[in-house]
């Protein structure tokens, strides 16, 4: 029964998390596009008001004319919209989902004893420390290097090195699927922390200064813009880390840490292309296609690298002899009954009877052969030859008699 309610919690939290993430990423992408697409105002009234850029757009049957004020508007409007709950809601729902999916059952989903055989409490503490330590080191890098000569380049190199180190450690210490997700959660935490500790407080200080009639320090806008740009480069790497859990050929590879780094690098490079292309159209930037090509090349390299080797079981696959339930049952007993037997039925799945196997034949094939997600972290040591037997059993009719 506990597993049933955890599944519902997982589903609902995942639903909320995806919705809020769409809202946050959508608004982030829009404002990056807006900043890149603004042109100097032509109207003298707008110039006199301190407008530094404007954009005309058409959408949904109407025309829009957003403008950006240099530092601050001459007067605050009665209703000012703030963009922060998208970020906070995404982080809160994501952390709750991480807790339900991984921390609650750390011994099953977080720990891979072939990598680190530690107690669940220790594994949870180390996992949570990734979120905090990465933010502290990233924030330190931004504070002390961003204002130096070539500061953006220095920050970019140091943050890249930090992400690479964290990816290597995570994949070395935790189960592959959890390791990828943890790196994504680590970077997403820093994105939300940027909003909470830098972007919103800076905007509040600007608003307070305007209300008090004091001069507005432009440093708050510059700092907020810096962290906002960092967030947009984190976005595609984070999304890959989160989605990769559905594709075991990535996180189950012996060099999974390198796969993660290459794919996140590809995402950041492709995002750079989209950030720069609007400015390129206006003649402000060099042609950014090189970034897209580099990102695409990195993805192609990974695809070629991970392509399956010719199967040594090709002769078995061509055999017309079907696999019987009697031949399948010992594999299920040794590899699957631990979590899907008489004592435990995780996900309400039980495989210790012909009827149960028949009901779940499609899931057995999908989870053990196609995605190779099960057994979780291969805790029971299923072999490739045994997966081939399951494959032949299913493709020959999945008989249970």
69 is a domain residue? no
Same domain (yes/no): 90, 171: yes
Query: CB–CB of 73/56 below 8 Å?
Result: no
153 and 257 housed in the same domain: yes
In a domain, 347, yes or no: yes
Q: What is the DSSP letter of 111?
A: -
Per-residue pLDDT of the chain (401 residues; tens, 9 = 90+): 566 788 888 889 999 999 999 999 999 999 989 988 899 998 898 988 889 999 999 998 899 999 998 888 888 888 888 989 999 999 999 999 999 888 988 888 888 888 888 899 999 999 999 999 999 999 999 999 988 888 889 999 999 999 999 999 999 999 888 999 999 999 999 999 999 999 999 999 999 998 888 888 888 888 998 999 999 999 999 999 999 888 888 988 889 999 999 999 999 999 999 988 877 777 777 888 999 999 999 999 999 998 877 655 444 455 557 888 888 888 888 888 888 887 777 777 888 888 888 888 888 888 888 877 788 777 788 888 888 888 888 888 888 87
53 part of a folded domain: no
Give domain status of residue 2, yes or no: no
Does residue 210 share a domain with residue 112?
yes
Sign of the dihedral defined by the CA atoms of residues 139, 140, 143, 145, in that order: negative
Q: Domain of 253? A: 85-306
Q: List, for residues 178-222, the tens digit of each pLDDT value.
A: 999 999 999 999 999 999 999 999 999 999 998 888 888 888 888
- Residue 44: which H helix or E strand, with range? helix 44-48
Of 306, 329, 362, the one marking the end of a domain is 306
Tell me, yes or no, whether 25 lies in a domain: no
Which of 286, 306, 326 finishes a domain?
Answer: 306
For residues 397 and 346, the answer to whether their CB atoms sit within 8 Å is no
Cα–Cα distance list, 50 to 38, 47, 129, 373 (Å): 14, 5, 45, 57
Tell me: do 187 and 244 sit in the same domain. yes
Q: Is residue 227 located within the same domain as residue 320?
A: no
Same domain, 207 and 276: yes
Give pLDDT, residue 318.
52
Same-domain status, 301 and 341: no
Handedness of CA 342, 344, 345, 351 (dihedral sign): negative
Residue in 199, 198, 190, 183 with CA at minimum distance from that of residue 250: 183
Q: What are 146-158's pLDDT values in tens digits?
A: 888 888 899 999 9
Residue 166 within a domain: yes
Q: Are residues 103 and 228 in the same domain?
A: yes
CA dihedral 178, 180, 184, 186 (to 10 degrees): 60
- Domain total of the chain: 2
Residue 314 has what pLDDT? 47
Last residue of a domain, one of 306, 327, 348: 306
Contact 6, 100 (CB under 8 A): yes
Together in a domain, 381 and 268: no
Quick one: how far is CA 400 from the chain centroid? 40
Q: What are phi and psi of 38, to 5 degrees?
A: -65, 140
332 & 381 share domain: yes
Global model pTM greater than 0.85: no
Residue 95 lies in a domain: yes
| Same structural domain, 326 and 384 | yes
Same domain? For 234 and 120 the reply is: yes
Is 110 within the bounds of a domain?
yes
């Amino acid at each position: 029964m506990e597993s049933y309610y955890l599944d519902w919690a997982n589903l609902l939290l995942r639903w909320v998390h995806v919705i809020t993430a769409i809202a946050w990423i959508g608004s982030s992408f829009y404002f990056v596009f807006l900043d890149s697409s603004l042109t100097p105002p032509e109207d003298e009234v707008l110039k006199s008001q301190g407008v530094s850029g404007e954009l005309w757009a058409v959408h949904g049957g109407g025309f829009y004319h957003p403008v950006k004020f240099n530092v601050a508007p001459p007067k605050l409007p009665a209703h000012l919209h703030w963009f922060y709950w998208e970020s906070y809601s995404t982080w809160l729902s994501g952390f709750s989902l991480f807790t339900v999916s991984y921390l609650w059952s750390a011994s099953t989903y977080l720990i891979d004893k072939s990598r680190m055989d530690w107690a669940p409490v220790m594994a949870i503490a180390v996992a949570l420390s990734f979120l905090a330590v990465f933010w502290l080191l990233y924030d330190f890098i931004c504070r002390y290097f961003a204002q130096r000569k070539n500061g953006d380049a220095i920050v970019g190199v140091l943050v890249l090195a930090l992400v690479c180190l964290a990816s290597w450690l995570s994949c070395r210490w935790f189960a592959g699927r959890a390791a990828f997700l943890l790196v994504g959660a680590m970077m997403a935490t820093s994105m939300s922390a940027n909003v909470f500790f830098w972007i919103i407080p800076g905007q509040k200080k600007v608003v307070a200064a305007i209300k008090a009639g004091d001069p507005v320090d432009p440093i708050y806008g510059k700092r907020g813009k810096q962290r906002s740009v960092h967030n947009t480069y984190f976005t595609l790497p984070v999304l890959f880390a989160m989605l990769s859990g559905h594709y075991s050929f990535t996180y189950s590879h012996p060099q999974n840490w390198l796969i993660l780094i290459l794919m996140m690098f590809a995402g950041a490079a492709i995002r750079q292309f989209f950030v720069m292309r609007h400015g390129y159209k206006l003649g402000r930037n060099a042609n950014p296609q090189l970034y897209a090509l580099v990102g695409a090349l990195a993805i192609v390299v990974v695809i070629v690298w991970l392509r399956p080797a010719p199967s040594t079981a090709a002769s078995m696959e061509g055999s017309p002899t079907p696999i019987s339930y009697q031949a399948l049952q010992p594999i299920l007993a040794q590899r699957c009954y631990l979590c899907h037997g008489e004592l435990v039925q995780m996900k309400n799945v039980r495989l210790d009877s012909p009827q149960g196997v028949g009901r779940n034949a499609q899931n057995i094939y999908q989870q053990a052969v196609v995605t190779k997600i099960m057994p979780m972290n291969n805790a029971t040591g299923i072999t490739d030859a045994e997966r081939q037997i399951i494959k032949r059993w299913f493709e020959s009719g999945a008989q249970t008699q």
